[in-house]
Structure 1
Amino acid sequence: MSETVTLPRPDDWHLHLRDGAMLTAVAPESARHFGRAIIMPNLVPPVVTGADAAAYRDRIMAALPAGSRFTPLMTLYLTEETDPADVVAAHESGLVTAVKLYPAGATTNSASGVRDFTRVHGVLEAMAEAGVPLCVHGEVTDPEIDIFDREAVFIERVLDPIRHATPGLRVVMEHITTQDGVAYVREGGPDIAGTITAHHLVINRNHLLVGGIRPHYYCLPVAKREAHRLALRAAATGDCDRFFLGTDSAPHPDGAKESACGCAGCFTAPNALSIVAQVFEQEGALDRLEAFVSRNGPAFYGLPVNEDTLTLARQDAPVAYPDRIDAGGEDVTVFDPGFPLHWQVT
């Protein structure tokens, strides 16, 4: 087994940076390891126009450490009032990389999302023609649908009809969590890809619920059965080039996580690459790590691979990561994978 792995600097194709004091605290954590990241637009209020995206990008750049080469790839939040011309213009200018679809009520700050999908057909048609990717939070929100089934139902009721109605639309099914999601991406042809998080590679629903509720393992989509976790590991380490890393690192203050109605999200920015490297080692697939974290994402988005490199080194002693970071006087707990990490970014 190799003791070091050097690869083009990875990208994070799904990242929450928040705003204000939280942005200032967490942006350096991602910038330390990643070259670029797809930035989620679910602020309050959300990032819905090109002007919103430009202003948010400026705030992100101001929060980065001096000399950082990290590039935020901005997205717009799709609403039923989204202006197709604004989307296309923002994309053609290079300001916006993709548009994000949140079904209304699906996750944190998604109240402004889409309820009637017929009302966004014109936007999606314009995006397909202009080559603007659509990133989707793949869950239905119908109260009668069990939370563990919402991804599979989304594929059947929402995603597949959208793709059939909008030929040529490039879609990223973000943070897939099920065998259904893996199969749909794998069999869906060149216009669909899927991101996989670090935490969904290592936890199943037992980790969340057995022996007491662990709020820092609670995320949306929620972790599923062990069979689904194993399917994700096979997809990430396999030979399909339309799966790539999107951490969905989603920081919340501990007070908001450890409450009667705790927020969804796992904060993995500090240790995501160590976790993923360890998973690939466990699967005997270190030779596939570069494709998953550095090459597949740029290829799907039509971007160059990063020119600078990053090295991961395996060490005998566990890598020490902080248990939490400070965000404007509030603690944010770093995701604990539940086992020692031996791969360190050097």
Structure 2
Amino acid sequence: MTRSLTIRRPDDWHLHLRDGAMLRAVLPETTRHFARAIVMPNLVPPVVTAADAVRYRDRILAALPDGAAFTPLMTLYLTEDTDPDDVATAHASGLVTAVKLYPAGATTNSASGVRDFDRVRPVLERMAEIGLPLCVHGEVTDDDIDIFDREAVFIDRVLDPLRRATPGLRVVMEHITTRQGADYARSAPDLGATITTHHLVINRNHILAGGIKPHYYCLPVAKREEHRLALRAAATSGDPTYFLGTDSAPHTDPAKLQPCGCAGCFTAPNTLSILAEVFEQEDALDRLEGFTSLHGPAFYGLPPNEGTLTLTRGEPVTYPDRIETGDGPVTVFDPQMPLHWSVT
């Protein structure tokens, strides 16, 4: 049995850091293990322009713990008023690594997102020209579509037509949750897909069976067991299409527990221990480095990190149930299984 595993220092290709007191509290949980992260732009107000991204990046850098070696990879929030020239300038300067597409109303702080996809076509065409990836929250928001079907419908109704109309556009299907998402992602070389830690662990029963469990409620919502198993197969396959994007999304406990609770799982503290456990269960520890540290940089055209970290198997390791922030306590995701892998 493998007792020790050394891998290139990983990256997180989908991360929520929030702002203010929350940013200062959760950032160390990521910088402890990760060298880089794609930082989501859905603040209030959102990070829409290059100037917004500069200011947000500066706030992140100012909040870094002493001695932390971490690079925030900034993104812009796509709106129907986004200026293609501003996007191109931000990319050329090295400021932004991707643009994020939220269908309006799909998730937390997505009210400024896209309703009419024809209005963002000039931006997408410019992105295809300059090679700037589009990160997509892949769900439709139509009231007549069941929440468990919204990802599959998005692929058919929105994503596939969008890609056909914009040849050369590089697209990251973020936090895929379905077999259909995993299958579509591998259908073309200009597609990639992030998979979260928590979607490898939970299915919809974890949210609903035996009472509502708000700390397992996320968007896209966890699906049937068959889809969780398809995600596990994809993540542990060694296929470079798939890479880690935790979608670690901190909300205070009062915000999670209110009658209309917020969506998101806070997985930054224990993600690597959980992933090692999952990959061991799938007899795929030799593929963990690819998923966490190699496939993402390859898709984004970046070099892998030079540093390494070591995972050691031993007695179960524990993590705090929650962390305290200036905005209130944030519960850490509970995988409901012993974690035998610690990070050194």
Separation of aligned partners in 1, 2:192 and 2:48: 23
SS in 2 for 1:216: helix
Aligned residues: 344
Q: 2:98 is matched with which residue?
A: 98
Q: CA deviation at 1:313?
A: 0.6
Q: 2:337 is matched with which residue?
A: 339
Q: 2:321 is matched with which residue?
A: 323
The TM-score with structure 2 as length reference comes to 0.99
Matched-pair contact (CA < 8 Å) for 2:74–2:97: yes
Q: 1:110 is matched with which residue?
A: 110
The residue type paired with residue 299 of structure 2 is F
The residue type paired with residue 32 of structure 2 is R
Q: 2:286 is matched with which residue?
A: 287
Separation of aligned partners in 2, 1:239 and 1:164: 27
Matched-pair contact (CA < 8 Å) for 2:252–2:327: no
SS in 2 for 1:90: helix
Percent of matched pairs sharing the same residue: 76
The residue type paired with residue 140 of structure 1 is V
Q: CA deviation at 1:239?
A: 2.9
Q: 1:225 is matched with which residue?
A: 224
Q: Which runs of 4+ in 1 moved over 4 A?
A: none
SS in 2 for 1:59: helix
Separation of aligned partners in 2, 1:210 and 1:2: 35
Separation of aligned partners in 1, 2:180 and 2:59: 38
Q: 2:193 is matched with which residue?
A: 194
Gaps of 5+ in 1: none
Q: 1:14 is matched with which residue?
A: 14
Q: 2:214 is matched with which residue?
A: 215
Q: CA deviation at 1:286?
A: 0.3
Q: CA deviation at 1:242?
A: 1.0
Separation of aligned partners in 2, 1:16 and 1:130: 26
Q: 2:258 is matched with which residue?
A: 259
Query: Deviations 1:27-80 (Å, cap 9, x if unpaired)?
Result: 010000001000000000000000000100000011110111110000000000
SS in 1 for 2:295: helix
Q: 1:139 is matched with which residue?
A: 139
SS in 2 for 1:67: coil
Query: Deviations 1:237-276 (Å, cap 9, x if unpaired)?
Result: 0032110000000000000001111000000000011111
SS in 2 for 1:232: helix
Q: CA deviation at 1:144?
A: 0.5
Separation of aligned partners in 2, 1:321 and 1:126: 44
SS in 1 for 2:13: strand
The residue type paired with residue 235 of structure 1 is A
Matched-pair contact (CA < 8 Å) for 2:41–2:100: yes
SS in 2 for 1:7: strand
SS in 1 for 2:43: coil
Q: 1:243 is matched with which residue?
A: 242
The residue type paired with residue 166 of structure 1 is T
Query: Deviations 1:274-301 (Å, cap 9, x if unpaired)?
Result: 1111000000000100100000000000
Larger mean CA deviation between 323-332 and 137-146 belongs to 323-332
Separation of aligned partners in 2, 1:278 and 1:340: 8
The residue type paired with residue 326 of structure 1 is E
The residue type paired with residue 288 of structure 1 is R
Matched-pair contact (CA < 8 Å) for 2:98–2:135: yes
Q: CA deviation at 1:329?
A: 5.1
Separation of aligned partners in 1, 2:121 and 2:223: 31
Separation of aligned partners in 2, 1:10 and 1:242: 16
Query: Deviations 1:117-158 (Å, cap 9, x if unpaired)?
Result: 000000000000001000000000001100000000000011
The TM-score with structure 1 as length reference comes to 0.99
1:97-176 map, 5 Å: 97-176=97-176
